[in-house]
């Protein structure tokens, strides 16, 4: 199967797009110091107050079989943060949303983390897992999430928003 090359826009530490620079997924080791790409993270809260957690596939290179408190992924070249977040949400869960609430923006080692909240009123059994990305999901209360250890929960930064 031919996998399409994923291209990203480049940003500086002031969150300004660097025109004329394209970054390529899988070549992160070639990204110069001081250049970053965007990663969106979406916290999904059901109207009943529970939060969606997804379990990373055992085939993932980084953090296999860990639970994640957010749906996340890189923003593609020429996408806005919102467009990238809505696409990732749809691709990884099947949830089609039209509104996100901005939570925070934080500069990481290699990327800007843009965090959003999505409040949903969906059938909680309708989540569609993405093969190779996720292998399970569950809905938990805020207290259940806060009780999870950092060894089982990836995305602990999202706890401050729960």
Residue 42: give its domain's CATH number: 3.90.79.10
pLDDT of residue 3: 65
d(CA 117, CA 24): 27
Q: Residue 27: is its pLDDT beyond 90?
A: no
Task: Decide if 2 is inside a domain.
Answer: no
**Residue 38 binned pLDDT confidence (cut-offs 50, 70, 90):** very high
Q: Range of 15's domain?
A: 7-161
119 phi, psi to nearest 5 deg = -95, 125
Domains: count for the chain: 1
């Amino acid at each position: 199967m031919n996998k399409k090359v994923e291209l990203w826009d480049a940003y500086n530490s002031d969150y300004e797009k660097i025109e004329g620079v394209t970054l390529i997924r899988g070549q992160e080791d070639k990204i110069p110091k001081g250049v970053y790409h965007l990663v969106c993270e979406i916290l999904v809260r059901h109207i009943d107050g529970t939060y969606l957690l997804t379990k990373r596939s055992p085939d993932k290179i980084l953090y296999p079989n860990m639970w994640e408190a957010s749906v996340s992924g890189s923003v593609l070249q020429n996408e806005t943060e919102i467009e990238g977040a809505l696409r990732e949400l749809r691709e990884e869960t099947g949830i089609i949303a039209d509104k996100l609430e901005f939570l925070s923006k934080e500069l990481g080692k290699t990327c800007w983390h843009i965090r959003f909240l999505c409040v949903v009123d969906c059938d909680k059994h309708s989540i569609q897992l993405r093969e190779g990305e996720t292998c399970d999901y569950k809905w938990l209360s805020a207290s259940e999430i806060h009780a999870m250890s950092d060894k089982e929960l990836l995305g602990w930064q999202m706890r401050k928003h729960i």
